[in-house]
Amino acid sequence: MTMKAQRFAWVFVAVSVASIGLAGHAHASVTADQLSTPGFFSTAMLTAINGIEARVNSILGSSYNITSSSTYTAWAYSLLLGAWLMKLIENVSKTAVFNAPYAEIISTLILGIIAQALFATYGGWTWTIVDAGQYLGLLVQKQAMGGDGLMEPASYIMKVWANFQFQDQSIWNLGVTDMVCNLMLLFFQVILSGAALFCCMWPTLVGAVAILTGPVCFMFVFHESLSFIFNGWIRMLFWAAFFGFISRICLVVICIVLASAFGYNLGAAPGGSIVALDSDNTLAFIMLGAMSIVSLALLFFSGVLTSMLTGSANLDATKMIANGAKAAGTAALSVFL
């Protein structure tokens, strides 16, 4: 058997097993009446979204503080002190052997004090940065849509899409044009709903990961060759804040456009009537397709704009802290000497 035939056989087996598993699951949980109900899958997805929102809010609330873990905190703090001690030994050796200026020793001492102060207040300022973007975005969302739920824009988009119905006939009776239109509608619905879910959840998850990994990044602030790790961690915090704000504003704009174009209400219950997307209602399909493309472009460029704002050329926290410590060390040395 050739390599290509072996790959085909493995793919066939994998698809067959997955199909059997999915078919069994669908047969056990979804009836034929449910499958024929308009918006059944959208309703099921909304139930899952509400469950996700409740779990995210309960696990990643602003009251959570990673430094409350004594074992993890002690380990990270030991690494911080070890890195600080190594830098002090390095600068003292340079001064003793190569007559390097005393300002380097003083600046390292001050840098360590700043790092310890940031570590001691870690649970406050890190969550302030992450929550700032989310808070501003949710504030705008509440003013526009009446609610401040984390998943509310994604939920609203899925509820609106549930009002757009395919042609109610067998797929085998559809013409080529109608089939292509229905497939495009399904594609836009899946992609836009997935993008909305991503933009609602991702900033929170990125912020949580940044806060969880932050304590072990402090030790890299003392060594220039490894400072990119500390800088990357700081950029992750600000990225979560900026993306949380910008993407949520884009989601709110998308919801407003959908509501205005098809006469729906903004809020938890959009209401409105069913829109049949068939050959007699081509304008609705064109409008929906155009808005889907523009919406996806908005969400994509919100990520691009966030990356531009938090790029490496714009944010060098290690250099900022080190320069401040060096200036303070030089000033202190000039006072005492």
50-104 pLDDT tens trace: 777 677 666 655 445 666 666 888 898 899 999 999 988 888 888 888 787 777 8
pLDDT at 167: 58
**Predicted local confidence at residue 170, as pLDDT:** 53
Identify whether the C-beta of residue 259 lies closer than 8 Å to the C-beta of residue 265: yes
Q: Are 139 and 148 in contact (CB under 8 A)?
A: yes
Residue 331's pLDDT is 67
Contact 185, 277 (CB under 8 A): yes
Rounded to 5°, the CA angle 330-229-95 comes to 30
Q: Does residue 132 carry a pLDDT above 50?
A: yes
User: What confidence score (pLDDT) does residue 243 get?
Assistant: 92
pLDDT(6) > 50: no
Structure tokens at 2: 């050739």
Least confident of 20-29, 61-70, 109-118, 204-213: 20-29
Identify the band that residue 14 occupies on the pLDDT scale cut at 50, 70 and 90: very low
Q: Exposed/middle/buried for 288, CB within 10 Å: 0-12, 13-18, 19+?
A: buried
Domain extents for the chain?
Answer: 68-336
Cβ-based burial of 153 (10 A; exposed 0-12, middle 13-18, buried ≥19):
buried
Share of the chain above pLDDT 70, in %: 66
Is 20 a residue whose pLDDT tops 50? Answer: no
Residues in contact with 101: Cβ distance below 8 Å, sequence separation at least 6, in sequence order: 95
| Mean pLDDT score of the chain | 75
Task: Please say whether the beta carbons of 62 and 131 come within 8 A.
Answer: yes
What whole-number distance in Å separates Cα of residue 295 and Cα of residue 162? 17
Would you state the pLDDT for residue 249?
92
pLDDT at 39 over 90: no
Task: Note the pLDDT tens digit of each residue in 232-278.
Answer: 898 888 999 999 999 999 999 988 888 887 778 887 777 767 776 66
Amino acid at 247: S
Q: Tell me: the pLDDT tens digits for 134-193?
A: 889 999 999 988 888 888 888 888 888 877 776 555 555 666 666 777 777 778 778 888
Confidence (pLDDT) at 245: 93
- Evaluate if residue 36 carries a pLDDT over 50: no
- Per-residue pLDDT band for 334 (boundaries 50, 70, 90) equals low
Q: Would you state the pLDDT for residue 168?
A: 52
Torsion 308-309-314-318 (CA) sign? negative
Tally helices (H) and strands (E) across the chain: 11, 2
